[in-house]
Amino acid sequence: MLYKNFIGGQWLESSSKRVFKSLNPADSSEVIGEFQDSDADDVNRAVQAARAAYPGWRLTPAPKRGEILYRAAQILVSRKEELSGQMTREMGKVIEEARGDVQEAIDMTFYMAGEGRRQFGQTTPSELQNKFCMTTRAPLGVCALITPWNFPMAIPAWKSMPALILGNTIVMKPSPEAPLSMLNLVKILEEAGIPPGVVNMVTSSGPDAGRALVAHPAVRAVSFTGSTAVGKEVAAACAVSFKHLTLEMGGKNAILVMEDADLALAVDGAVWGGFGTTGQRCTAASRIVVHKDIYEAFSSKFVERARALKPGNGLDPSVQLGPLINEQQLHKVEEYVRIGKEEGAKLLTGGERLRPKGCSGGSFYAPTIFGDCDPRMRIVQEEIFGPVVALLPCSSLDEAVEFGNAVPYGLSSAIYTRDLNKAFRAMRDMETGIFYVNASTIGAETHLPFGGVKQTGNGHREAAVAALDFYSEWKSVYIDFSGRLQRAQIDTELSF
């Protein structure tokens, strides 16, 4: 199947005349489709289309924009099963999780549709008589949205829905590893009646189209989710023209398991957080800091559960562990396992490639746990983005928090404890944008701000009302109905 770019309401081939293939990571002999390998020309056309559509969309009443989003959400609901199956085939996550990904897109679309009738500003008294003050939100213009493959529908929805409901027009570029899910979302927006040019999408196999998009002078805002290394490059490119920028980058998230934790619950959380999506979430629990009093009991149960996970093609509902996204990612994981051994971490399970039955061409790796890790080890410091978890013994809550914070990232963290005091202290002291008590590090909901501190982000949040703040500018409005010149700060009647 040949898929095209979506520009100005039309499905178009790239001017490069090149295409690239997207493969099923569970079986690389299965081609998902051929996609346009777009170049700077295509990007320019998409941005121009978005620019041309902006005045009309900006002036479309927000509740009307919301109606289109409601329709899109309803179509997503009606096609959830089909969209989920396609997602599992294109990027490997097990079918139950693919349904979750589509559900997250549904939630975000309904949520932002509702913002069509909200987008509340403030009214506030003036310091002068016969003067009225209020704030309103104004859209930015053309927004460039660059998304990763690990949440191939949820993340495009996180970015596009708030941008659209506020009256911005968008150009999206998916990861070459999972373009189909974004394309499906775009098709649904088209079907829901989004006007031509409001939503545009270009696909590309390499970094050039993304670079051209970020550098384009007509782009006013960029939203990027991906690695910290690429995020740095995007930030530098945006800085020269003062483009608004939101970055969601790496994570090295910790679960703190205290001596009074419900052990079975903590193990459940570690398995889900560490090996869900095969560890390929920016929120994955890649470090577990365990109190020494329960360290042995915890690690033996955790290892047992990790070994029992069934790998394979995620379309089989009994499969619990899908493949890594590609061979390159598998080699990265192999390299980190080598580094971990060299650093002296104790390999408790895993550490090898898997070849599940019927998936000979897939990039599978065993759930891997390293014990007795030291906070300074590279496998504890660096994001691996695979099924590799480091266990760190600790001797107190203070030490657990210290270890938890001793990384360059700050996306998500969690504590398992029955002690309310410990839970609140950790909540206050963990340097992360997301914190869980007696739940794993993954599972953010769409109506709460999503994002992280330190090298995870640049101070913005996605989702929730926080997303509206990124995709709009405040306009402060003063209406003077006195009919005479009134001078703020000067014509004061009261003095102290």
Shortest Å, Cβ 296 to ligand UN1: 29
Catalytic site residue 282?
yes
Please give the sequence-ordered ranges of beta strands (E in DSSP) within 357-471, or none if there are none. Answer: 364-365, 368-371, 388-394, 409-410, 412-416, 434-437, 453-454
Hey, what amino acid is at 447? H
Does position 283 interact with ligand UN1 (CB under 6 A)? The reply is yes
Main-chain dihedrals φ then ψ at residue 160, nearest 5 degrees = -75, -40
Shortest Å, Cβ 150 to ligand UN1: 5
* 114 vs 443 by CB, closer to ligand UN1: 443
Count of positions on this chain that bind ligand UN1 (CB under 6 A): 9
Choosing from 90, 97, 143, 282, which is the catalytic residue? 282
Hey, what amino acid is at 55? P
Catalytic site residue 431?
no
Shortest Å, Cβ 276 to ligand UN1: 8
Does position 159 interact with ligand UN1 (CB under 6 A)? The reply is no
DSSP 8-class letter at 90 = H
Does position 108 interact with ligand UN1 (CB under 6 A)? The reply is no
Choosing from 248, 259, 383, 462, which is the catalytic residue? 248
Shortest Å, Cβ 151 to ligand UN1: 5
Q: Give the Cα separation of 113 and 91 in Å (integer).
A: 28
Does position 244 interact with ligand UN1 (CB under 6 A)? The reply is no
Does position 149 interact with ligand UN1 (CB under 6 A)? The reply is no
CB 336 within 8 A of CB 252: no
* 312 vs 457 by CB, closer to ligand UN1: 457
* 151 vs 224 by CB, closer to ligand UN1: 151
Does position 385 interact with ligand UN1 (CB under 6 A)? The reply is no
Give the position of tokens 């559960």.
305
Q: Give the Cα separation of 215 and 234 in Å (integer).
A: 9
- Rg, the chain, Cα only: 24
Encoded tokens for 237: 């490119």
* 179 vs 351 by CB, closer to ligand UN1: 179
Does position 151 interact with ligand UN1 (CB under 6 A)? The reply is yes
Write the interaction track for ligand UN1 spanning residues 179-218; mark x where CB under 6 A is met and - where it is not. Answer: ----------------------------------------
CB 287 within 8 A of CB 298: no
Cα of first residue to Cα of last residue in the chain, in angstroms, is: 76
Write the interaction track for ligand UN1 spanning residues 420-449; mark x where CB under 6 A is met and - where it is not. Answer: ----------------------xxx-----
Does position 150 interact with ligand UN1 (CB under 6 A)? The reply is yes
Does position 278 interact with ligand UN1 (CB under 6 A)? The reply is no
Shortest Å, Cβ 270 to ligand UN1: 15
Hey, what amino acid is at 334? E
Main-chain dihedrals φ then ψ at residue 292, nearest 5 degrees = -60, -25
CB 62 within 8 A of CB 68: no
Q: Give the Cα separation of 371 and 380 in Å (integer).
A: 11
CB 299 within 8 A of CB 330: no
Most distant pair of Cα atoms in the chain: their distance: 84
Give the position of tokens 């990861």.
175
Residue ranges that bind ligand UN1, judged by CB under 6 A: 104, 150-151, 281-283, 442-444
Active site residues: 248, 282
